[in-house]
Amino acid sequence: MKKAVLVDYYYCTGCHTCEIACAVSHDLPTEQAGVVLNHIGPWESSRGPWQDDYLPFWTKNCDLCQGGQAAHDGTPMCVHHCQAQCIKMGEVDELARELAERPNQALYLIEA
């Protein structure tokens, strides 16, 4: 199975929960992270609407919570706690189908 993460970044509010859920459960020092939140914006785009998106990025520290850090139901800590519920982790083909359904999403292949 090829494991992937799908982020519906239209709804990502930039709450940092994924970063901290990961950092705490993996006991990472503050200069490292398994997930890094990026903020792209805000600025007024030349096309009119404002550019203001957050997008989490999974770093090489990410082990998909395979070392016993997962939440009690087996989901990785970042997915379990995402306040906007805009992160999914699963099989890449399935998530790729979801990706095609609407814009403002990003798909990461974590484990090939």
Partner 1 sequence: MEKEFKTIEHERPWRYQTDDGLTVTRGSAWSGPGCHLGCGVLMYTDEEGRLVKVEGDPENPFNKGRLCVRCLDVMEAVYHEDRLTKPLKRAREDRGKDTWEEITWDEAYDLIESAFKRIREESGPEAIAFFQGTGRDIAPWITRYAWSFGSPNNVFGMSGNSCYGPRVSGSMAVTGSFWVGDYSQQFVDRYDDPAWKCPECIVVWGNNPLVTNSDGLYGHWIIDCMKRGAQLIVIDPRRIWLANRAAIYLPVRPGTDTALALAILHVIIEEDLYDHEFVECWCYGFDELAAAVKDWTPERAEEVCWCPAEDIRAAARMIAQADGCVNQWGVAVDMQKRAVSSGHAIIDIFAITGNIDNPGGNICPDYILMYFNGWGREFLDPEKRAARIGDDKYPMVANAYSKAMFDSVVEAIDTGEPHQMRAAWLQTVNTLVNSAPDPAYVVRAMRKLEFVAAIDLFMTPTIMALADVVLPVASFPERQGIRIGDGVQRAETINRAVNRIGEGIDVRSDMQVNMELGQRFRPEAYPWERVEDMFSAIFEETGKSFEEVRDQAPVYLPFEYHKYKTGKLRADGQPGFNTSTGRIELWSTYYNLLGLDPLPTFKEPVHSPVSTPDEFAEYPVVLTTGARNWSQFHSEHRQVPRMRALHPYPTVRVNQALADQFGVVDGDWVWLRNQYGRCKRKVLVDPGMMDGVASTDHGWWMPELGGTEEEGLFGAFEYNCNMLFKFDPGESGFGCDYKCMLCTIDKCAPEEAGIVATVKGDGIRKAVAMADLHEAPETVIL
Quote the least distance from Cβ 41 to partner 1, whole Å: 8
CA-CA distance, 92 to 110, in Å (whole number)? Answer: 9
- 98 is an interface residue for partner 1 by CB under 8 A: no
Report the residue from 4, 6, 7, 82 that binds partner 1 according to the rule CB under 8 A.
82
* AA identity, residue 56: P
Tell me the site size for partner 1, rule CB under 8 A.
Answer: 42
Q: Which is nearer to partner 1, 43 or 112 (CB)?
A: 43
- 39 is an interface residue for partner 1 by CB under 8 A: yes
Report the residue from 3, 20, 63, 106 that binds partner 1 according to the rule CB under 8 A.
20
Q: Facing residues of 88 across strands?
A: 6
Q: Which is nearer to partner 1, 5 or 81 (CB)?
A: 81
Looking only at the bridges linking them, the beta strands covering 87-91 and 3-8 are antiparallel
CA-CA distance, 45 to 112, in Å (whole number)? Answer: 36
CA-CA distance, 12 to 21, in Å (whole number)? Answer: 15
